[in-house]
A and B are shown apart, each in its own frame.
Chain A
Amino acid sequence: MLLLPSAADGQGTAISHALTSASTLCQVEPVGRWFEAFVKRRNRNASASFQELEDKKELSEESEDEELQLEEFPMLKTLDPKDWKNQDHYAVLGLGHVRYKATQRQIKAAHKAMVLKHHPDKRKAAGEPIKEGDNDYFTCITKAYEMLSDPVKRRAFNSVDPTFDNSVPSKSEAKDNFFEVFSPVFERNSRWSNKKSVPKLGDMNSSFEDVDAFYSFWYNFDSWREFSYLDEEEKEKAECRDERRWIEKQNRATRAQRKKEEMNRIRTLVDNAYSCDPRIKKFKEEEKAKKEAEKKAKAEAKRKEQEAKEKQRQAELEAARLAKEKEEEEVRQQALLAKKEKDIQKKAIKKERQKLRNSCKAWNHFSDNEAERVKMMEEVEKLCDRLELASLQCLNETLTSSTKEVGKAALEKQIEEINEQIRKEKEEAEARMRQASKNAEKSTGGSGNGSKNWSEDDLQLLIKAVNLFPAGTNSRWEVIANYMNIHSSSGVKRTAKDVIGKAKSLQKLDPHQKDDINKKAFDKFKKEHGVVPQADNATPSERFEGPCTDFTPWTTEEQKLLEQALKTYPVNTPERWEKIAEAVPGRTKKDCMKRYKELVEMVKAKKAAQEQVLNASRAKK
């Protein structure tokens, strides 16, 4: 048992420090009814005491029921039960002040109170006169209860509540005081909504979302209002099925009509409100302003960007220009320096040469003989030309510092060296020349022979391949090279280039030789002869079928013309070959015949090769 202590004197309620730790997040198991209750509360954003509040509300409602005040309807006693349709049933039951808001319990209670007061038996006992049958006004009370206790009938009556103000404010009414005019109207009409939570019109400070939600709600207004109460014919009164159907049809049409009118009414109301709403105007303006601002900002940004770019470009240009200038300056300086140096050197050399000449002259060119002297002079001149500054200086030194003999020896030695050098240079140049010519030769032959050796078998294979894939084959040389690589026994890989080169060199052989090759009669001499590279002065044509002996080869056009002519002049044409020769300009009859024979042969060879390949592949299979 814990007892609380008493407070010391002077102590009061106080907080010494704040709580040190905030709430922590804990993972919980989604199990049990308290968890469900917790989640529900949290989702509804209600506090722990929410349930209690709700309970309290219910209690207060109950107590309200008990205190229900019934308003006496003064005209009650004068009502005509026959005219019940035009009566206000709420007023009859004394609920005129609550109307559609009345709960079922209230209606029941009101009915009970009315019955207790107005039942004919009671009044009879009180000595009031009673009308006979259904004519007594009590029938109205029964009817009212009948209408209001049934939810469907009550809804029908509520829909045509006589106290409801159906009016829609016009646009001009709401010019200045929009909220005062429209707010009550929307409030009033919201009772027809099927959905429970109807958004309020709000005020000038409502957010855009709220306003948007409000108008979208009202434009899609889902009303429960219906007009069956106003049916002119009563279905129950019909005597047969057909009549009932007819009545139903009639009623349906009028109801639909009324419903449409009602929807139009709501629509007009919302339209009016929307067009007058100052907030919408405001939002539109804001939107516009925003867009404008955005546009401006964009333009600004773009401009800035461009400026920045321009600046950068300028800076870059400037930098480049500066760098260039600097470079140029340097180059100029260097050139100047070099020139100066060169000048100095030139002068020095000149001086030295002069010196040499002078010294030689002083020594009388080391000879007495005139011819020798001339020769010596020549040599000295050569020396002057060829010797570098340093060696010149050295030579001059020896010449000036030593005796005539020694000077002569040195000079002669120098001359000898120079001559040796000149000779060497000459030799080198010659050697280079020879090398160059050799290289040229090699290169001319290289393409044909290549670095790879062509064996006899390979050559045959190549010829076969060339015949097999005639000119015009798609990427012909690659195909041929491929074919060679596949079928060659030598194992050398050949590229299209190699093949082209070889084929070209082969092309220069005479057709007999080729035939020989085809027939495998290829003796050694001929082979060597064929393989020997020749200067590449042959025709550029790649066509293999031309008779390229001593005539110009057949060009494609000529070939075409020939073929055409062969077709136009069949075998039995008299003087066929003359005509064919005429058709092919620049060719004699003999040429044409020769060509034709060749062609025939080639076609035959090709066919044979193809067959061979076919057989080979078949055998492989």
Chain B
Amino acid sequence: MAAIGVHLGCTSACVAVYKDGRADVVANDAGDRVTPAVVAYTENEEVVGLAAKQSRIRNISNTVMKVKQILGRSSDDPQAQKYITESKCLVIEKNGKLRYEVDTGEETKFVNPEDVARLIFSKMKETAHSVLGSDANDVVITVPFDFGEKQKNALGEAARAAGFNVLRLIHEPSAALLAYGIGQDYPTGKSNILVFKLGGTSLSVSVMEVNSGIYRVLSTNTDDNIGGTHFTETLAQYLASEFQRAFKHDVRGNARAMMKLMNSADIAKHSLSTLGSANCFLDSLYEGQDFDCNVSRARFELLCSPLFNKCIEAIRGLLEQSGFTADDINKVVLCGGSSRIPRLQQLIKDLFPSVELLNSIPPDEVIPIGAAIEAGILIGKENLLVEDSLKIECSAKDILVKGVDESGANSFTVLFPSGTPLPARRQHTLQAPGSISSVCLELYESEGKNSAKEEDKFAQVVLQDLDKKENGLRDILAVLTMKRDGSLHVTCTDQETGKCEAITIEVAS
């Protein structure tokens, strides 16, 4: 069974398929693994993808871009208003709904944003069918974490209209985690993951908790003022000033010249991620003047350093907001095309010196691959209906055991971490010196970090009359089972003698 994962971003869309146990991104008919999410309306057809993006120089008023920003929003939404003022394609309100006004020669059409999204989804479906055959329609679609109910519905409807069978809508950061398979192999233990997504128009940073293989978003932060286009714009402005220096012409006021510069800057930006310098060459940019300019990576980094700082500030702010330090983060996942920028990766690495930076998958493909993996998990399953605000019981506090380390000082070990989905059972093999005849497990509950105060002790389990061993250690197996209401059952067994003690601790009502 094959399934599809689709990520529709503001600037580009990407599709991955799950087939034979692995997920892979599919290249579109132009051979690109990422398709620009641009739709152009011409006299007799609707063009999606690269062709639409390239033709926007001549057809700007009939080219719809960044449709995701307006999808499912109403005209009184400040974000939609911002979009309407920025959009080059006229957006009007008709019958209380927002419509694009598209002039295609003889008549003026009013296009629904959902229809635009549908065209992009259709394109993605075609792309997926090029490797799967036309009967695979099951899809998982990703949405940003801050998408509202209406926006989700609009996106789902658009996908359904394109002929997809939508299995589920999942959040982008979760898809990113799933793409790297975090917490999927060994479903015990707990870790905190930072997801850094720098897309075309927005930056979103989230801290996720993975516990028992289940993901939770702890906090998230979205900034709509940093994105790939802002980097391109900065570079294009630089190129314009270079042109002005050389030819004494200011091209900033000329929309078509700026559009050409943007395209050129985009290409240069991409090559600067791998090369030390990039060349911009534009024939007859302005009044027949050709333009040729070399941009070095260092120059680019210098130009964009305010933007980089903003990104790093966003991460710092999020850590502060969620009460974490850099050491509490176990992994960092990079996604979104702009997180390819080497300088940015370096800065993040500097911020988290001891943390693994996951960037082995191309960052703009992470999310669709995660979606495809989820689709592969869901396919063939019945009753996929999951209530939207899915809440499950989790343990509230860490359960710790007190022991002594080599130096003889007291120390604590977490046996049952907080936030574990209940019911759950955790099994630990603890060790005690063989020279003693009784072992005492002192159990503490705490919200803190690997330490507890004396009054947090809630129970102790004592195993007595054990056989003494001259040297070596004895293994004590401790099994903790917590029920959905939070009551805890603890069983301790001495592995050698089989002596066993069990207690059940209820929750104070």
A1-21 residues with Cβ-Cβ distance < 8 A to B are: 1-8, 11-21
Give Cα distance in the complex from A35 to B175, angstroms. 13
Residue of A2, A23, A33 touching B422 (CB-CB under 8 A): A23
B458 touches A15 (CB 8 A): yes
Minimum CB distance partner of A9 in chain B: B438
> Do residues B214 and A28 form an inter-chain contact, with CB atoms below 8 A?
yes
Q: Is the CB of A13 within 8 A of B503?
A: yes
Q: How far is the CA of A8 from the CA of B464 in the complex (A)?
A: 10
Q: How many residues of A contact B (CB 8 A)?
A: 41
CA distance A21 to B439 in the complex (A): 27
A residues less than 8 Å from B403 (CB atoms): 2-5
C-alpha gap A211/B325 in the complex (Å): 61
Task: Provide the bound-state CA to CA distance between A32 and B178, in Å.
Answer: 7
With a CB–CB cut-off of 8 A, which chain A residues contact B214?
A: 28-29, 32, 34-35, 38
Residue from A3, A27, A30, A42 in contact with B170 in the complex, judged by beta carbons closer than 8 Å:
A30
Taking CB atoms and an 8 Å cut-off, the chain A residues in 195-239 that contact chain B are: none
Question: Is B267 in the interface zone, CB < 8 Å from A?
Answer: no
**Shortest beta-carbon distance from A281 to chain B in Å:** 40
Contacts of B168 in A (CB 8 A): 30
| Chain A 323-357 interface 0/1 with B at a Cβ cutoff of 8 Å (1 = within) | 00000000000000000000000000000000000
Measured between beta carbons, the chain B residues less than 8 angstroms from A28 are: 214-216, 390-392, 421
Chain B residues near A17: list those with CB within 8 A. 458, 508
Identify which of residues 386-406 in chain B touch chain A, using a CB-to-CB cut-off of 8 Å: 386, 389-397, 401-406
**Chain B residues within 8 Å of A26, by CB:** 216, 391-394, 419, 421
Which residues of chain B have C-beta atoms less than 8 A from A7's C-beta? 438-440, 460, 462-464
Of all chain B residues, which has the CB nearest A31?
Answer: B174
Q: Is B343 an interface residue (CB 8 A)?
A: no
Closest to A14 in B: B460
Q: Beta-carbon contacts of B211-246 to A below 8 Å, as 1s and 0s? A: 011111100000000000000000000000000000
**B381 to chain A: which residues have CB within 8 Å?**
36
Closest B residue to A40 by beta carbon equals: B381
A33 contacts B423, C-beta separation under 8 Å: no
Asked if B92 lies at the interface with its beta carbon under 8 angstroms from chain A, I say no
A20 to B178, CA, bound (A): 34
Contacts of B460 in A (CB 8 A): 7, 11, 13-14, 16
A26-B394, A32-B183 known; A2 vs B486 contact (CB < 8 Å): no
Provide the bound-state CA to CA distance between A6 and B421, in Å.
32
Within 8 A of A (CB), among B430-470: 430-433, 436-442, 445, 457-464
Contact of A4 among B395, B396, B432 (CB under 8 A): B432
Bound: A76/B412 CA distance, A: 72
Could you say which residues of chain B place their CB within 8 Å of the CB of A16? Answer: 457-460
Contacts of B129 in A (CB 8 A): none
A3 with B461: CB separation less than 8 A: no
Q: Is B424 in contact with A48, judged by CB distance below 8 angstroms?
A: yes
Nearest-CB residue, chain A, relative to B373: A32
Chain A at the B interface: SS class? loop
Q: For A34, list chain B residues within 8 Å (CB).
A: 183-184, 187, 212-214
Q: Given that A3-B404, A24-B396 are known contacts, is A18 also in contact with B505, CB under 8 Å in the complex?
A: yes
CB pair B217–A2 under 8 Å, yes or no, is: no
Q: How far is the CB of A579 from chain B (nearest CB, A)?
A: 77
A240 on the interface (CB 8 Å rule)?
no
- Is B432 in contact with A3, judged by CB distance below 8 angstroms? yes
A33 touches B484 (CB 8 A): no
Say yes or no: B507 contacts A21, CB within 8 Å: yes
Q: Which residues of A contact B462 (CB under 8 A)?
A: 7, 11-13
Interface bracket on B: 35 or more
Q: Which of B178, B378, B389, B405 contacts A27 (CB 8 A)?
A: B389
The distance from the CB of A12 to the nearest CB of chain B, in whole angstroms, is 5
| CB of B55 within 8 Å of the partner chain | no
Chain B residues within an 8 Å CB radius of A422: none
Give the residue name and chain of the A residue nearest to B208 (CB): A29
Tell me, rounded to whole Å, the shortest Cβ–Cβ distance linking B501 to chain A.
5
Which residues of the partner chain A approach B459 to less than 8 Å between Cβ atoms? 14-16
Complex partner residue of A2 from B370, B405, B436, CB under 8 angstroms: B405
Residues B476 and A4 in contact, CB atoms below 8 Å apart = yes
State whether the Cβ of A619 lies closer than 8 Å to any Cβ in chain B: no
Chain A residues near B506 (CB-CB < 8 A): 18-19
- For B487, the chain A residues whose CB sits under 8 A away are 19
Query: How near does chain A come to B133, taking the closest CB pair, in angstroms?
Result: 25
Is A275's CB within 8 Å of the partner chain B? no
Do residues B438 and A25 form an inter-chain contact, with CB atoms below 8 A? no
Q: Which residues of A contact B461 (CB under 8 A)?
A: 13
A residues near B503, Cβ cutoff 8 Å:
13, 15
- What's the minimum C-beta distance from A54 to chain B, rounded to whole angstroms? 16
Inter-chain CA distance A160–B451, complex, in Å, is: 71
Q: A25-B394, A31-B178, A34-B212 are in contact. Are A19 and B438 (CB under 8 A)?
A: no
* Residues on A with beta carbons closer than 8 Å to the beta carbon of B423: 47-48
Partner of B425, one of A1, A29, A33, A49: A49
Q: Which of A14, A16, A29, A43 has the most CB of B within 10 A?
A: A29
Q: Is the CB of A27 within 8 A of B391?
A: yes
**A-contact bits for B103-141, CB 8 A (1 contact / 0 none):** 000000000000000000000000000000000000000
Taking the complex as formed, is B260 at the interface, i.e. its CB lies under 8 A from any CB of chain A?
no
Complex Cα spacing A374 to B41, Å:
126
Question: Is the Cβ of B440 less than 8 Å from the Cβ of A35?
Answer: no
A15-B505 in contact (CB<8A): yes
> Taking CB as reference atom, which chain A residue is nearest B394?
A26
Chain B residues lying within 8 Å of A36, measured Cβ to Cβ, are 377-378, 381
Give, as a whole number of angstroms, the nearest-CB distance from A16 to chain B.
6
A128 to chain B, nearest CB (A): 55
Q: Which of A2, A14, A23 contacts B393 (CB 8 A)?
A: A23
Query: Which residues of chain A are near B266, meaning CB under 8 Å?
Result: none
* CB neighbours of B278 from chain A (8 A): none
Residues on the A chain within 8 Å of B33, using CB: none
Specify which chain A residues have a CB less than 8 angstroms from the CB of B493 in the assembled complex: none
* CB pair A30 B390 closer than 8 Å: yes
Q: Does B411 contact A (CB under 8 A)?
A: yes
CA distance A21 to B402 in the complex (A): 20
The complex places the Cα of A16 from the Cα of B421 at a distance, in Å, of 26
Residues of chain B at the chain A interface (Cβ within 8 Å): 168, 170-171, 174-175, 177-178, 183-184, 187, 208, 212-217, 370, 374, 377-378, 381, 383, 386, 389-397, 401-406, 411, 413, 419, 421-425, 430-433, 436-442, 445, 457-464, 473, 476, 481-482, 484-488, 501, 503, 505-508
* Interchain Cβ contacts under 8 Å between A and B, 5 examples: A1-B405, A11-B462, A18-B508, A30-B168, A36-B381
The 4 closest A-B pairs by CB, nearest first: A34-B213, A7-B440, A6-B436, A23-B486
